[in-house]
Amino acid sequence: MYVLFKKKGLFTASDAKRVIDIVSRENEREIIIMCEKIDDDAKRRLWDYAKGVELMSDLTGESREVKVEILEGYVSDKVKGIEL
């Protein structure tokens, strides 16, 4: 399953931390971020989380991964998602 997060304005590292907190509790397989602009630290935090999940699943013998997709530039009001 996937979860969509929307933020008008700049998506920061603190927003990425909130997203990771939500996603880690739900065990989602795909994170979609829709924002006007994203900070480099936020990107790095999201990619590090996805890589960490992959590494931990290799250690435990599971086959779990998290895909991160970032849609930057326009935030649609018609798309349903979690507002940050």
pLDDT in tens, 6-56: 999 999 999 999 999 999 988 889 999 999 999 999 999 999 999 999 999
Q: What gap in Å lies between CA 56 and CA 62, rounded to an integer?
A: 8
pLDDT in tens, 66-78: 999 999 999 999 9
CA 39 to chain CA mean position, Å = 13
Q: Do 72 and 35 form a contact (C-beta atoms < 8 A)? A: yes
Q: Which residues contact 24 (CB under 8 A, 6 or more apart)?
A: 49
Specify the amino acid at residue 38.
Answer: I
